[in-house]
Structure 1
């Protein structure tokens, strides 16, 4: 395996990061091993310690190394860890829907128990906005649909659930706009799924946790079934 070698002038931090990453991926420093110190890396790369420090910080952000008290910098992965958003974009929509069901159905249960007057009013507004979007294009309709689901999740008053749904929302929006057109879901029914969404809102508002969970599960299962096909 060739030595690291000095770097050419240019964005030195980017080059140093890439060079160290390549050597980790090639097995020079296996997972669990300790990297050479900053001084040694700086000498091999022909850069200053500050450049090495920034490169190691970037690799730590990518999940490849970790600084441990008394142990120095340890290799934790042999390639950058893909972030959650990128993984969601790459995932099949049917898999996204399976996880979405786990999050949203529980959120609907909690929402029915925890909703307050402000949530009840927000749900009415969100349902009305979704209904009004029935006369708009697919993108506007999907935006209104996701906004209603986000309002249900918000009524659960659990910030972790809200954050998880927020991670799903951009991917859902992009893929659902395509799906609505591809499956022709709104042909002959511009306000597709109104009854099931109205049932969900009513169940949350009256405090029926299991009714809310059931209404949402049936709605999501129906879409998932369409994705899987006959």
Structure 2
């Protein structure tokens, strides 16, 4: 079955090239040159490819709006902006950030990783230790205090990946490639740092975690 992509790009040359390539690869593509009417198409969309520098409504504002209303729709930012602050701002809500120009095969590989990840079944609500988690609404409640815990986009994706693989030991490589959609490099501390910050938000005592268990020499596990 064809996947429906919403592509928002105001550069006509780039937009034509990317759209033609994706159509040849059997995707159904809706290309818009502005994001003003984008919300009309989201419910029929499997993935959004979004530029940042858009007329009338910039990609950051539009992407945040989409993610708030449709958290299960993956967003791939496709931008010429290379500054670290742009990447960090974008990845706070988007699921991947690709710098253009890039090879069409790389763009499609990133698209396919996100489609596979978001196509997996996610339990709508789960109780885990002192947490009540609704991944569809992206809400995590500390049951004892009734306090809602706020996570970044990457923290949500890491937790969701654990919940799709409850009781399984996951390596840092598996987590990195599923969440960041990039090849894992040895000695990369990205996963370790993000899990430390995630534990600080969801564990009663982050120094003695009860939810995200460290499996020495292998990776991590969440047990239920």
Report the TM-score when normalising by structure 1: 0.26
Of structures 1 and 2, the one with the larger relative CO (CA 8 A, separation 6+) is 1
More helix per residue: 1
Tell me which protein shows more strand as a share of its residues: 2
> TM-score, structure 2 length as denominator?
0.27
> Which structure has the larger Rg over C-alpha atoms?
1
